[in-house]
Structure formats: structure tokens, C-alpha cells
């Protein structure tokens, strides 16, 4: 699936009867900072050329843990002369057309400006990245919707960027990363939720980022596999923080989509939160309902990278626990651990369950009609 064994083979056209899908996690890639210059002041252009853009991790270039392969991308996703995710035409042929994607949510990652060490640079680059998403992507392909990237460590600045995009149909959600300077339930991030709720936009929280804390509570691990597995624990900590800090009590219309951080842990975390909340609730007088009830009403999960229990039916049993309406299909195109819609959920599902996961849930959460 990952390495093109027959690079000369033509793309297999799919039958037209194939289910149209929503892909809730597609990664467009900025070819380079110069692409953003039309929307960056001279000051920030020069800054990027001289100092670059540092994050809370050691390396000037590349991630803290070397990926499994170049840019963590499928070997077959490199367009001629470019990097994966940088070419709309190539992406349309290889993925959007081939997999009958009717709605694609764009989540730009590095370098989007999110989580940059310098907060003013973060604000400038995220703003420019949003402009780029419209001009180079959503304006050119009506299947795609952008995510508003924001300088999330500066709540008021992030809120201003969200308000500037409110009502713009090019954008489907606000995008945060899980690994922030402090857990995302904390007050410094509340202006983001306030603005998102006001704009009627879900907040998508994607795995990754560098907040400064080790990815395990016991310190920095050694390997990329540990970082990858660890994104699930980070996301569990994020959801725990959102619930226990009372974010859903404070922002009753807020919708949160948890992206690329696992899904099968959802029921277990709800049970655990309920159990310990009931014992320690004296500490949390602002919570009026059980943690599991807030989660049931406010939170959705994307599927990729989907857990693969043996037997596979266990996954359906997990969806029974969490609610089939909470599950949003995603591929993570063009990354190496891409989930193919034809093969990623090999278990028995009713037609209604399939339609919900592959399309209707996404249309409902993002408020995008067919």
C-alpha cells in the first residue's frame, strides 16, 4: 500500500457507483515560505530568510524524531518536481477523483505557523497560510474546505484570526494541534473557543505539534514509533483537560473534532473520567454533568490511523459504545499511514452505518449540505 510496486501502472478507475466519501484529514503542503510572500510583510519575509521559523524542538530542519520515510509520505504521492500534497492537480487525480471524495477537509501541518516559538511570527504565518489555502486550494476545487490555522499560544490573536474568517464558506473549522504549551482546556485558550462558537465553526484538534513538554509524563522516549503511539496519549490528555476545565460547560455549542490520534480509546477514557470525577467532584464544582455526557454531545473522532483489533468486530463494538454518529472517515493523504477507504474498515457494517461514517456524519458536524 505504501510503496508503489508498479510505479508505471495506471491509476485504477473506480466504479461510478462507489460511495461518495468525506475525507476529514487531507494535508496540503506548502512548497516553501516564498509561496506565502504575497501575504507576508517585508519584515517577516526577511525574518524567515535570516532566522527561519523555530518550534519547541531541537532541529532547525525536520522533526524531532526522524520519520519512517521522507516527509512521512507515501512513496507514490510525489508529484513530478514537487513534494507530496503540494500539487492540487496531482492530488485530485491520485486521491480526490480516485476515491470519490465529495468533501475534503484540508489540515495544513508544518510549516503552517502554528506553534512557532515566536508568537508574532506565528500570527503572521498562520494568517498567510489561510490566504494560501483559499487561493491555491478551495477557490480551485469546490470539494475542498480549509481549516483556519491560528497562533494558538496567543488566545486573543487566534480569536482575531477566527473572527476575520467567520462566515467565509472556504473554511470548515478552526485547527489546533494537541501538543501545546499547556493543556488545551486551560483558560489561555478560551478566546479560541469563544470565537469558534460565535462563528459556528467546529474546532479540529490534530495530533502533533511541539509544546515543550516531553511526549510522555516520564520523559523523552527514544523512537519515532513511541512518538507516533504517544499521540494517542496526548490526545487523551487534551480531551481530559477540555472536559475537566469545564470548556463544554462554558461553551455549550462548541464542537470538537479529534484528528489522527486514535479513536478506540474513546469509551475507556469516558469510563475512567466518570469514575474518578464521581470520587473527586468536590474539586470540580463547575461541572454540572458527567464527563461522558459532555463527550457524547460535543466530541467527534476521525478514523485514521484506524486501530486494527483481531477480531475486527471489536472495532464495531467500540463504535457501539461511543456512538456511530461520532465517527468521521479520514485518509491522512498523502502520509505513509494513509487509510484506503476501500480497505480501512474491514468489518461488518450496515449501509446506514457506512453512509454515516463515510459521509453523513462529516456533513452534519461541518454543516455542509450535499
Residues that bind another protein (CB under 8 A): 68, 178-184, 186, 211-226, 228-230, 232-234, 236-238, 240-241, 244-245, 262, 264-265, 267-269, 271-277, 279-280, 282-284, 305, 307-310, 314, 317-318, 321, 336-337
Residue 357, all three cell numbers? 461514517
Contacts of 268 (CB under 8 A, 6+ apart): none
Q: Are 329 and 303 in contact (CB under 8 A)?
A: yes
Q: Smallest distance, Å, CB 280 to another protein?
A: 4
Cβ proximity to another protein, 164 vs 268, nearer residue? 268
Cβ proximity to another protein, 55 vs 145, nearer residue? 55
Q: Smallest distance, Å, CB 201 to another protein?
A: 22
Cβ proximity to another protein, 130 vs 304, nearer residue? 304
Q: Smallest distance, Å, CB 217 to another protein?
A: 4
| Secondary structure class of 161 (helix, strand, coil) | helix
Alpha-carbon span 183 to 124, nearest angstrom:
24
Cβ proximity to another protein, 144 vs 238, nearer residue? 238
Q: Smallest distance, Å, CB 211 to another protein?
A: 6
Strand partners, 73: 335
Cβ proximity to another protein, 145 vs 326, nearer residue? 326
Strand partners, 177: 206
| Residue 125 Cα distances to 111, 128, 181, 252, angstroms | 9, 5, 19, 31
Q: Smallest distance, Å, CB 98 to another protein?
A: 22
**Cβ neighbour number for residue 21 with a 10 Å cutoff:** 23
Q: Smallest distance, Å, CB 3 to another protein?
A: 12
Q: Classify the C-alpha dihedral 361-363-369-370 as positive or negative.
A: negative
Nearest CA among 81, 80, 102 for reference residue 92: 102
**Cβ neighbour number for residue 173 with a 10 Å cutoff:** 26
Cβ proximity to another protein, 82 vs 119, nearer residue? 119
Interstrand relation of 299-302 and 256-259 (parallel, antiparallel or unpaired):
parallel
Q: Smallest distance, Å, CB 140 to another protein?
A: 33
Cβ proximity to another protein, 169 vs 219, nearer residue? 219
Amino acid at each position: 500500500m505504501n510503496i508503489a510496486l508498479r510505479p508505471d501502472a495506471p491509476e485504477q478507475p473506480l466504479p461510478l457507483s462507489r460511495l461518495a466519501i468525506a475525507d476529514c484529514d487531507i494535508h496540503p503542503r506548502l512548497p516553501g515560505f516564498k509561496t506565502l510572500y504575497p501575504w507576508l510583510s517585508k519584515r517577516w519575509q526577511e525574518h524567515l530568510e535570516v532566522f527561519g521559523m523555530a518550534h519547541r524542538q531541537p532541529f532547525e530542519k525536520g522533526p524531532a524524531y526522524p520519520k519512517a520515510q521522507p516527509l512521512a509520505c507515501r512513496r507514490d504521492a510525489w508529484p513530478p518536481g514537487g513534494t507530496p500534497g503540494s500539487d492540487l492537480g496531482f492530488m485530485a487525480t491520485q486521491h480526490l477523483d480516485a476515491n470519490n471524495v465529495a468533501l475534503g477537509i484540508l489540515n495544513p501541518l508544518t510549516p503552517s505557523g502554528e506553534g512557532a516559538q515566536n508568537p508574532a511570527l506565528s500570527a503572521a504565518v498562520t494568517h498567510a497560510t489561510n490566504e494560501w489555502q483559499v487561493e491555491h486550494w478551495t477557490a480551485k476545487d469546490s470539494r475542498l474546505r480549509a481549516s483556519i490555522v491560528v497562533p494558538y499560544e496567543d488566545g486573543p490573536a487566534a480569536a482575531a484570526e477566527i473572527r476575520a474568517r467567520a462566515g467565509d464558506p472556504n473554511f470548515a473549522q478552526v485547527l489546533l494541534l494537541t501538543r501545546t504549551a499547556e493543556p488545551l482546556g486551560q483558560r489561555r485558550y478560551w478566546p479560541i473557543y469563544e470565537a469558534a462558537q460565535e462563528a459556528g465553526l467546529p474546532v479540529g484538534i490534530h495530533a502533533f505539534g511541539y509544546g515543550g513538554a516531553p511526549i510522555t509524563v516520564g520523559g523523552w522516549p527514544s523512537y519515532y514509533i513511541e512518538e507516533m503511539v504517544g499521540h494517542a496519549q496526548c490526545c487523551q490528555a487534551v480531551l481530559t483537560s477540555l472536559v475537566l476545565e469545564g470548556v463544554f460547560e462554558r461553551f455549550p455549542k462548541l464542537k470538537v473534532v479529534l484528528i489522527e490520534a486514535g479513536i478506540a480509546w474513546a469509551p475507556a477514557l469516558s469510563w475512567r473520567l466518570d469514575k474518578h470525577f464521581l470520587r473527586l467532584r468536590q474539586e470540580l464544582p463547575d461541572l454540572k454533568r458527567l464527563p461522558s455526557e459532555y463527550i457524547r454531545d460535543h466530541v467527534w473522532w476521525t478514523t485514521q490511523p484506524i486501530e486494527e483489533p483481531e477480531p475486527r468486530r471489536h472495532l464495531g463494538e467500540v463504535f457501539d459504545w461511543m456512538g456511530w454518529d461520532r465517527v468521521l472517515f479520514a485518509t491522512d493523504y498523502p502520509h505513509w499511514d494513509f487509510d484506503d477507504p476501500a480497505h480501512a474498515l474491514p468489518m461488518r457494517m450496515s449501509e446506514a452505518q457506512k453512509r454515516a461514517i463515510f459521509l453523513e456524519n462529516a456533513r452534519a458536524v461541518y454543516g455542509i449540505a450535499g
